[in-house]
Structure 1
Amino acid sequence: MVRELTTDIRDIRLVVLDMAGTTVADGGLVERAFEAAAAELGVEPGSPDHAEKLDYVRATMGESKISVFRHLFGAEELAQRANTAFERAYGDLVDAGLIAPVPGAREAIEELAGSGRTVVLTTGFARVTQDAVLAALGWRDLVPLTLCPADAGGRGRPFPDMVLEAFVRTKAAEDVRQVAVVGDTSYDVLSGVRAGAGLVAGVRTGAHADDAFRAAGATHVLDSVAQLPALLTGAR
């Protein structure tokens, strides 16, 4: 069941948006980069072990990538090797021009900023990959703050740390209930719920679907982040 909204929607002052799958359409690049990481560690393509690990990657979209690899490979050295290979492969795919904004995402961000709200972009990727994505899209100066797990003490989603870091750093809101968190995975939603955000929305442009959003406690489910400005003005 969708969680009850805890604030007047027009009072939202800070909007924390996920990147891949929410504002950025990456066309399955996470899975392609995982293939490279798996190969680096000797996981045989087509094997039951490969299939099991890929299923876990799909199920945990939105979680910090190093946390995913720690679960998959156990030993810290192996997890770090896999994560390095993943980030390198994803960066190469980005450099090859294989990402694009979700339709209407940039316009939504600009409209939110134009209405006096502060927008922060977050990711489960490492900083080097986040910066590569921002550069490829021409988004380096689009928002005043971007965060990756390392910027918030090392814990990514589903922990609330990046949301709370955005709240503390921007000082855009007086109360966490004036924060909106939007993402395409249940991990995005859960991080917003745990942070106490007043509005927590799942979007249907990425990894997870309505049931997962509702189970995680979303207040709203949207077809796309492009619908967010109208929602916050009460037009939807």
Structure 2
Amino acid sequence: MAGTTVADGGLVEQAFAAAAQRLGVEPGSVEHAEQLAHVRATMGESKISVFRHLFGVEDKAQQANTAFEEAYGKLVDGGLIAPIPGAREAIEELKAEGRTVVLSTGFARPTQDAILDALGWQDLADLTLCPADAGGRGRPYPDMILAAFLRTGAVDGVHDLVVAGDTSYDMLSGARSGAGLVAGVLTGAHDTARLEQHGATHVLGSVAELPGLIARTEA
């Protein structure tokens, strides 16, 4: 969602800074810079997995994740997110064509719901998924994509799946799922080279271009 259908203006990094500081990592320190670099490199991964890598001990990882979700939720409640231009229209166009649309995220369910509520998107997609809904691993594993495939029953095989995202981990999860079309978008974390390196079959300016890409591919 963030970076693909939702513009959050760098709120992930702001929320991370709040979480790290709660665990004693001061902004401006070498440790903070190293951790922030890892956060940027792993955009799209489930946040608890990121914190497990950064802090090692499960208790600290859970503390950091809770602090992150609280901080991000407050920023969302403050009106600091917006739809990527054309994202809602693209989803509505795809649904009008009879396609099934699933929104997934690396955030926990409370944060995902806060984003959906803030945008008025509670009923926009056919299904919404977070890592906990698909076994907890999140990206770059294909679990959420395959959960969407199994739960919706919308297509006959994984090759009929279309995956779109703004991070290398989105591309990896799409490629690993067997999706026939894995589209990177340039409205978020990573550039064309990185998206293609990790499995993008196409790179778009934004998700607003996705219905057109699907139509051309089918033609």
Partner SS for 2:76: helix
Measured in 2, the distance between the counterparts of 1:98 and 1:131 equals: 15
Q: Where do residues 125-136 of structure 1 align in structure 2 (5 Å cutoff)?
A: 125-136=107-118
Give the Å deviation of 1:129.
Answer: 0.1
Give the Å deviation of 1:214.
Answer: 1.0
Does residue 216 in structure 1 map to residue 188 in structure 2? Answer: no
Instruction: Quote the residue 1:112 is aligned against.
Output: 94
Q: How many residues align?
A: 218
Give the Å deviation of 1:217.
Answer: 1.4
Does residue 37 in structure 1 map to residue 38 in structure 2? Answer: no
Give the Å deviation of 1:138.
Answer: 0.1
Partner SS for 1:118: coil
In the alignment, residue 231 of structure 1 is paired with which amino acid?
L
Q: Where do residues 1-236 of structure 1 align in structure 2 (5 Å cutoff)?
A: 19-234=1-216
Partner SS for 2:216: coil
Measured in 2, the distance between the counterparts of 1:88 and 1:201 equals: 31
- Alignment deviations for residues 34-79 of structure 1 (CA, whole Å, 9 cap, x no partner): 0110111000111100000001001110000000000000000000
Give the Å deviation of 1:104.
Answer: 0.2
- Alignment deviations for residues 164-186 of structure 1 (CA, whole Å, 9 cap, x no partner): 00000000000000000000000
In the alignment, residue 159 of structure 2 is paired with which amino acid?
R
Identity over the aligned pairs, expressed in percent? 72
TM-score scaled to structure 1, two decimals?
A: 0.91
In the alignment, residue 128 of structure 1 is paired with which amino acid?
P
In the alignment, residue 207 of structure 1 is paired with which amino acid?
A
Give the Å deviation of 1:216.
Answer: 0.6
Measured in 1, the distance between the counterparts of 2:193 and 2:24 equals: 35
In the alignment, residue 221 of structure 1 is paired with which amino acid?
V
Measured in 2, the distance between the counterparts of 1:179 and 1:226 equals: 18
In the alignment, residue 103 of structure 2 is paired with which amino acid?
L
Give the Å deviation of 1:141.
Answer: 0.4
Give the Å deviation of 1:233.
Answer: 1.2
Runs (5+) with no aligned partner, structure 1: 1-18
Partner SS for 2:164: strand
Partner SS for 2:203: strand
